[in-house]
Amino acid sequence: MSKPLKVALLGCGVVGSQVVRLLTEQADDLAARVGAPLELAGVAVRRMGRKRDVPVPDELLTTDAHALVTRDDVDIVVEVIGGIEPARALILAAMAGGKSVVSANKALLAEDGATLHAANRADLYFEAAVAGAIPLIRPLRESMAGDRVHRVLGIVNGTTNYILDKMDSTGASFADALEEAQSLGYAEADPTADVEGFDAAAKAAILAGIAFHTRVTAADVHREGITEISASDVASAKAMGYVIKLLAICARSEDGRSVGVRVHPAMIPRSHPLAGVREAYNAVFVEAESAGRLMFYGAGAGGAPTASAVLGDLVAVGRNRLAGTRGPSESVYADLAVHPVGETVTRYHVSLDVADKPGVLATVADVFSRHDVSIQTVRQEGRGDDAQLVLVTHRASDAALSATVEDLRDLDIVRAVAGVMRVEGDETP
């Protein structure tokens, strides 16, 4: 057994406290797996004297994170504080001292991963940054390094999945479902990062970058949240055999020369495996040329599940340090263009409040036809002043569909464009 590897932990909240617990409870197993004990050298916290989920010996706690990460005896820094600063400065200071870094920080990796990768002199592992306990980074970086990924599609935010699942199963409004998610601790007091899709967009950027060997940042991701989804959108989807999910979709274009990365609510058929992902669970499909379609499913958030991913990374970087080697570094050689959302091709569900009189359907159909958007199904709900036309299109570009909707809004016979939503997952799973 080699001498202990010293671990500095930045942050002791929901995830950090579980990292402390596992390092303590599983110390013997971890030492045997790494080949050296993993010894906690210190835990940087914002405030001393706070009650913690897991007791941490006072002598390990410090509010001076910079002094901790630059200590000569520290080998590995685990960052679970989140946010851009001071996390970035602390990680860069650790890297300058040759430490290995394990991070769960999706926002930082998606905004400025390039700076971290460039500064890295040992290992930078971040399995916990995307979908909590679910192994996705390592399978994409390592297991699938010999394959050609075409698409990554999935549910990568548990909070929004919980809210949409409640809306679907109980008919609740967005506001009521959000309140329930907050009271159960699934959603934060300020839910913006989750419900506006920022969290999922950061994860999509990280996944796309690895899957397509291309640098993708959060700013490259087309993002729409779920705050505008109404109980009637959910009911209308249900009536047609669909369920609404917030999806992250990273896809190679048909000519293979660019990628599209987007996060938005979409209708998927109830028969699709992602429709069965309930409550706060996450699930991701990876579609690759030789592997075919793979599905990853599990707990995408929470202290212990996320700590499981952190511990897996700790073992990996510990082994690498002992062997005097490094894990895979950033791979961006393909350098594909990230195309704008207008070039995305998919199907759409469009509901229109219309006058119920002869010629209305023909006029509406003519607008679709002028933009070369082909209609697959159409049905009418209600009558008289309450009529609604619900159309589902064949695959069309986002730009063509947007132009269609703009022209529909100008028609006298269309009182309102009540809803436009993408339809995904209709291809046989």
Report the interface residues with ligand HSE, using CB under 6 A: 157-159, 194, 199, 300-301
CA 59 – CA 7 distance, rounded (Å)? 15
Q: Measured over all CA atoms, what is the biggest interatomic distance in the chain, rounded to whole angstroms?
A: 84
Q: Residue 165 or 194: which CB sits closer to ligand HSE?
A: 194
Which CB atom, from 157 or from 388, has the smaller least distance to ligand HSE? 157
Q: What is the DSSP secondary-structure string of 340-360?
A: -GGG-EEEEEEEEEE--STTH
Q: Which is nearer to ligand HSE, 157 or 351 (CB)?
A: 157
Whole-angstrom distance, CA of residue 191 vs CA of residue 120: 33
Look up tokens 């992602």; give the residue. Answer: 274
Handedness of CA 100, 102, 107, 113 (dihedral sign): positive
The alpha carbons of the chain give a radius of gyration, in whole angstroms, of: 24
Based on CB atoms, which residue is closest to ligand HSE, 112 or 196? 196
DSSP 385-414: GG-EEEEEE-SEEHHHHHHHHHHHHH-TTE
Catalytic residue among 203, 238, 245, 357: 203
Minimum distance between the CB of residue 195 and ligand HSE, rounded to whole angstroms? 10
Closest approach, Cβ 309 to ligand HSE, in A, equals: 11
Closest approach of ligand HSE to the CB of residue 391, in Å = 33
Task: Give the shortest CB-106-to-ligand HSE separation in angstroms.
Answer: 6
Bridging pattern class, strands 100-103 and 124-125: parallel
Nearer to ligand HSE, 5 or 133 (CB): 133
Q: Distance between CA atoms of 177 and 346, rounded to whole angstroms?
A: 28
Q: How far is the CB of 422 from ligand HSE (least distance, A)?
A: 21
H/E segment holding residue 62: strand 61-62
In the annotation, is 51 catalytic?
no
β-pairing, 76-79 vs 100-103, is parallel
User: What's the angle, vertex CA 204, arms to CA 199 and CA 209, rounded to 5?
Assistant: 135
By annotation, the residues acting in catalysis are 203
